[in-house]
Amino acid sequence: MDMLHIILNILLPPLTIIFLFLFYPIYLFIKLLNCVRKHLCVENVAGKVVLITGASSGIGEHVAYEYAKKGADLALVARREDRLHIVAETSRKLGSRDVIIIPGDVTKINDCMKFISETISHFGKGEYSNTEL
C-alpha cells in the first residue's frame, strides 16, 4: 500500500500538470466560441409581448429587466401588486414601451386564465379561448 502511495505521489502531480497544459487551452477556446456565439445570436424581442410570472422579485424580476432592455412589451404577474408597480416602473425606464401588471396566483387556474386573457386583450395579439387550457 505504501508503494502505491509513493508511485501516486510521484506520478500524479506531473500527469496533472501535463493534462492541464494540454486540455485547458482547448477548454478556454470552446468557452470563447460559446461566448461569441451567444453574442452574435441575440434574441430579437423588440415589440413582442412577454408574459412573466413571479415578476415581483427574484428571477422573475430580473427576467423582466432583461426583456425590458431589449424593448419587449411586458405583462407582469405576481401576487404582490405593490412590488409589481415598482418593477413595472423600472422596466419602463429600461426601455419597455408598454408594461401591464396583473396581480394573480399561478396555482389557481382561474387566475391563470385571467392573466392570459388580460394580456391578450391589452396587447391585441393572438387569439385565446378558455377551452385551450
Residue 133 has pLDDT above 80, yes or no: no
Considering the chain, what percentage of its residues have pLDDT values greater than 90? 65
CATH architecture of 49-132: 3-Layer(aba) Sandwich (3.40)
pLDDT (tens digit per residue) in 23-32 = 999 999 999 9
pTM of the model: 0.65
Residue ranges of domains in the chain: 1-41, 49-132
Average pLDDT over residues 19-43: 89
Contacts of 86 (CB under 8 A, 6+ apart): none
Contacts of 97 (CB under 8 A, 6+ apart): 47, 71, 73
Give the Cα separation of 8 and 31 in Å (integer).
Answer: 31
Contacts of 116 (CB under 8 A, 6+ apart): 51, 128
pLDDT at 8: 85
pLDDT at 126: 55
pLDDT (tens digit per residue) in 60-82 = 999 999 999 999 999 999 999 99
